[in-house]
Every structure is written in structure tokens, then in C-alpha cells.
């Protein structure tokens, strides 16, 4: 509006112009705020649904429509109770207007189960009462799964400890009640108590090992190790048990397979667990093969194969889980805790490899795990290696230049693994 002079009309035009500019600023600001809010709602990782006082949906963001698998447009004006399939009980609590949250279980189109926590916040307005509700939807599938596996783990540990404890208790009572004086029963009961105590020690040791692996507390002390030597040594460790069962091991390794970078103690534990399983679940006179293969992708595969009882298809998927056993009672009678394969899996994972199993019921089982053949970014660390044995080879293999340098300056001494 043109402003002429400074008389009343002029001042009025000025005031009008000022008001117009303030109004358009305010409108622009309002628009900006609206856009900001819309973009926040669209990009939120939680779902948001707003309803009016009759529980009809008036707003729903993209995440909410993804979670509930409904079209944003179609959900408009729908009843929220219907949309979320709330029970009558939940509807009653919601109607009272107190804040409330509930857990919805849903299934994706692929059939995977997922869980949504919905938190309702009623919007109160003075004198009018409840004018609507805001529902915030959070995907808590992972959280709930973790919580469930934690609960299952605690239940399993308690159960596994309770069994030997109950046995110990009843046998000590029997000893107290007079069995101690019996020349035959006394030593027999004492040996049962000893066995059960050893079983509990084994269980607790395994649990501590797993917890150290979980917390990544135990740093891997990787060294170059000769694969064939390692397989021969593990077969030697079990030679007595194998002889007892009339099992003769077959050892084989690809020509190219020489050394591998591993924490020897940990990988020995993996091999021990796999071989003890093969021996436990294979009848007398069975066969056992240990094989090392170069996968030609920088990985070494080691497999332990037996021709024993095998594992049913339905159990194979869960066999690496903690405490999972095909036949709980049988395994427990054999002294098993059901932790062997899960420990093996954690150790292999920590080395950057994978572990899997092929098995046919009644025909046998083959467990294979992979390990990286070379240490990532390995070099010869100054002062760590002497020029003898494995250390010599390691320097040459990974950093010949540094090795020569160190040789000439005489800096090599005190190899870490004592060679």
C-alpha cells in the first residue's frame, strides 16, 4: 500500500503495511514450523499416530504405517482400536485417559514375528476433557528377543546346576544315614558326589569361558601355527579314548596348507569340543576324520567328521545355541553340559571365521569351521621375533624387508611364544 505524507491516512497506511509484513512473516514462520514438524514425523524411527476425541485417526506418520503394514491414506478416520487390534480390557484402560502402554505382536509378510510397544498419551484440555490421544509405536523385537534369551539362559543355568546339587544332597544324606559305614555303598556314593561336583565345575568353567568371550575380555593371542602339527597333537590327546572305542582317526591336509594365525589354546578348545562330540556320539568301531583344506579365498577349513548317530534335521539349526541338546537326558548322562558347540562358535567367530554342520540321522556328522590363513595387517614387530623356527618364517612371510632390516641392526630378540 503506498504511503503518502505523515497525516492520519499516511500513518494508517504505514501501520497497515507494517501489520501486513508482520502477518506474512508470522504465516511464513508458521508454515516453516509445520514443515519442520512434518519432516520430523516422517523421518522419525518411531511410529506416531494421533487421534481425535472419538479415537479416529487424524494423523499417522510413515514409520507407523510401515510397522502396521497399512496405507497412510487408508488409515485416516479409522478407529485406532481397530487399527491396533486392541483387546476390550486395553480399550477400557485407554478410555479412562491414563497413560498406558501395551505390546503388540505382529507378523511380517514373510512370516517373521515382530513386536511393537505402543505408548498412549491422552491429550487433556482444561474444561473439555480428553480431546485426543497420541500413540507412539516402537519396534522392540530385538530387545524382546534378547530379554527372552536372557531369561531362558538363566533358567537353563539354574536347572543345570540344580540337577547335580540335588543328587549331591541326596547322596550326602544317604551317607549320613548310615551308607558311610557300608563298605560297598560308602565309596560308591562318594564317587557319585565327586562326579557331580566335577560336572558342576565343568559347567561353571564353560560359563566363565563363554562370558569372557562375550565380553571380548579375553584378547586373542594369535601366533602362526602349523596346521598338520596341530591336528596330530589333538589326535594324540584323544588317542586313549579313541583306542578304548576302537576308533582310528584319519588325518589329511591339502598340500598348500602350512601355517595359520590363531590363538592356539582357543582353537585347541574348539577341536577338543568337536572331537569329544564325535567320540561321544559315535558307536564303537566308528570312523573319525580330521581334514584341513585351503578354501582359496584366504580361509582355511578344518572339518571333524564321524559316522555316528547324526543329528535330526529339525535340531540342526539350533544346535549351536547354549544348552541346546538333541537328547537332554542322554547328553547329561554322558556328562555333557550342552555348551561345547556354542563355545566353539564364539571362538571361531572371534577369529573371523564361521562354523557349520552337516549331518544325517544314523549316518554321521561333519562339523566344519574356517579360519583366516593370514593375520590381517600382520607384520614383524620390532624386537618380538628371533631368527629361528616359526618366527623366522613369519618375518620372511609377512615383511621380508623389515626382517632384513632388523637382521642387520640386530634388533630381533625375545620371541613372544618363547622360540
Ligand X SMILES: Nc1ncnc2c1ncn2[C@@H]1O[C@H](COP(=O)(O)OP(=O)(O)OP(=O)(O)O)[C@@H](O)[C@H]1O
Which residue's CB atom is positioned nearest to ligand X?
340
Q: How far is the CB of 216 from ligand X (least distance, A)?
A: 21
Q: How far is the CB of 344 from ligand X (least distance, A)?
A: 8
Let me know: does 103 contact 116? Beta carbons within 8 Å: yes
Q: What are phi and psi of 341, to 5 degrees?
A: -70, -35
Q: Which does 61 bind (CB under 5 to 8 A by kind): Mg ion, ligand X, none?
A: none
Distance in angstroms (rounded) separating the CA atoms of residues 52 and 71: 19
Q: How far is the CB of 161 from Mg ion (least distance, A)?
A: 18
If the CB atoms of residues 122 and 310 are measured against ligand X, the closer one turns out to be 310
If the CB atoms of residues 57 and 339 are measured against Mg ion, the closer one turns out to be 339
Q: What is the largest CA-CA distance in the chain?
A: 127
Let me know: does 136 contact 41? Beta carbons within 8 Å: no
Q: Which does 290 bind (CB under 5 to 8 A by kind): Mg ion, ligand X, none?
A: none
Q: How far is the CB of 365 from ligand X (least distance, A)?
A: 4
Q: Which does 266 bind (CB under 5 to 8 A by kind): Mg ion, ligand X, none?
A: none
Distance in angstroms (rounded) separating the CA atoms of residues 60 and 63: 8
If the CB atoms of residues 94 and 304 are measured against ligand X, the closer one turns out to be 304
Q: How far is the CB of 252 from ligand X (least distance, A)?
A: 19
If the CB atoms of residues 132 and 286 are measured against ligand X, the closer one turns out to be 286
Q: How far is the CB of 303 from Mg ion (least distance, A)?
A: 16
Distance in angstroms (rounded) separating the CA atoms of residues 291 and 304: 7
If the CB atoms of residues 90 and 306 are measured against Mg ion, the closer one turns out to be 306
Three-class SS of residue 301?
Answer: strand
Q: Which does 348 bind (CB under 5 to 8 A by kind): ligand X, Mg ion, none?
A: none
Burial per residue of 182-218, b for 16 or more beta-carbon CB atoms within 10 angstroms, e otherwise? eeeeeeebeebbeebeebbeebeebbebbeebeeeeb
**Residue that has been written with the C-alpha cell 574348539 in this structure:** 270
If the CB atoms of residues 67 and 355 are measured against ligand X, the closer one turns out to be 355
Q: How far is the CB of 161 from ligand X (least distance, A)?
A: 14
Q: Which does 353 bind (CB under 5 to 8 A by kind): ligand X, Mg ion, none?
A: none
If the CB atoms of residues 132 and 338 are measured against ligand X, the closer one turns out to be 338
- Grid cell listed for 171: 547322596
Q: Which residues contact 385 (CB under 8 A, 6 or more apart)?
A: 391, 392, 394, 395, 412, 415, 416
Residues contributing to the site for Mg ion (CB under 5 A): 277, 340
**List of E strands, 10-76:** 47-52, 57-60
Which residue's CB atom is positioned nearest to Mg ion?
340
Residues contributing to the site for ligand X (CB under 6 A): 273, 277-278, 281, 306, 308-311, 319, 325-327, 331, 336-342, 365
Q: Which does 3 bind (CB under 5 to 8 A by kind): ligand X, Mg ion, none?
A: none
Kindly report the number of other CB atoms within 10 A of residue 72's CB atom: 14
- Grid cell listed for 76: 485416516
Amino acid at each position: 500500500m503506498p504511503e503518502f505524507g505523515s497525516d492520519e491516512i499516511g500513518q494508517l497506511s504505514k501501520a497497515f503495511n507494517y501489520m501486513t509484513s508482520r502477518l506474512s512473516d508470522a504465516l511464513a514462520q508458521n508454515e516453516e514450523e509445520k514443515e519442520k514438524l512434518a519432516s520430523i514425523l516422517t523421518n522419525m524411527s518411531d511410529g506416531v499416530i494421533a487421534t481425535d476425541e472419538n479415537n479416529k485417526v487424524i494423523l499417522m506418520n510413515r514409520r507407523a504405517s510401515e510397522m502396521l503394514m497399512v496405507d497412510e491414506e487408508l488409515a485416516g478416520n479409522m478407529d485406532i482400536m481397530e487399527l491396533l487390534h486392541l483387546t476390550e480390557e486395553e480399550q477400557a484402560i485407554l478410555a479412562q485417559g491414563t497413560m498406558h502402554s501395551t505390546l503388540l505382536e505382529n507378523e511380517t509378510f514373510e512370516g517373521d514375528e515382530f513386536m511393537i510397544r505402543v505408548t498412549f498419551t491422552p491429550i487433556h484440555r482444561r474444561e473439555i476433557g480428553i480431546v485426543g490421544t497420541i500413540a507412539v509405536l516402537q519396534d522392540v523385537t530385538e530387545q524382546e528377543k534378547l530379554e527372552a534369551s536372557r531369561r531362558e539362559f538363566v533358567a537353563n543355568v539354574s536347572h543345570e546346576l540344580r540337577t547335580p546339587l540335588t543328587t549331591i544332597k541326596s547322596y550326602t544324606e544317604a551317607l549320613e544315614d548310615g551308607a558311610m559305614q557300608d563298605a560297598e555303598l560308602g565309596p560308591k556314593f562318594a564317587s557319585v558326589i565327586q562326579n557331580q561336583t566335577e560336572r558342576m565345575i565343568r559347567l561353571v568353567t564353560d560359563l566363565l569361558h563363554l562370558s569372557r568371550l562375550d565380553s571380548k575380555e579375553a584378547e586373542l593371542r594369535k601366533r602362526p601355527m602349523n596346521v598338520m602339527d596341530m591336528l596330530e597333537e589333538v589326535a594324540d590327546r584323544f588317542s586313549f579314548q579313541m583306542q578304548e572305542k576302537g576308533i582310528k582317526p584319519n588325518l589329511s591336509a591339502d598340500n598348500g596348507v602350512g601355517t595359520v594365525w590363531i590363538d592356539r589354546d582357543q582353537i585347541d578348545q574348539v577341536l577338543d569340543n568337536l572331537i569329544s562330540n564325535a567320540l561321544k556320539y559315535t558307536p564303537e568301531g566308528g570312523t573319525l576324520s580330521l581334514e584341513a583344506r585351503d578354501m582359496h579365498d584366504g580361509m582355511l577349513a578344518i572339518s571333524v567328521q564321524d559316522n555316528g548317530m547324526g543329528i535330526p534335521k529339525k535340531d540342526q539349526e539350533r544346535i549351536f545355541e547354549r544348552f541346546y541338546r538333541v537328547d537332554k537326558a542322554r547328553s547329561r548322562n554322558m556328562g555333557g553340559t550342552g555348551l561345547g558347540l556354542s563355545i566353539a562358535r564364539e571362538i571361531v567367530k572371534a577369529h573371523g571365521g564361521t562354523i557349520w554342520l552337516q549331518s544325517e540321522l544314523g549316518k554321521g556328522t561333519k562339523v566344519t569351521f574356517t579360519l583366516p590363513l593370514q593375520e590381517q595387517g600382520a607384520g614383524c614387530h620390532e624386537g618380538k621375533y628371533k631368527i629361528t623356527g616359526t618366527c623366522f618364517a613369519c618375518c620372511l612371510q609377512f615383511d621380508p624387508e623389515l626382517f632384513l632390516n632388523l637382521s642387520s641392526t640386530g634388533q630381533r630378540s625375545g620371541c613372544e611364544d618363547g622360540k
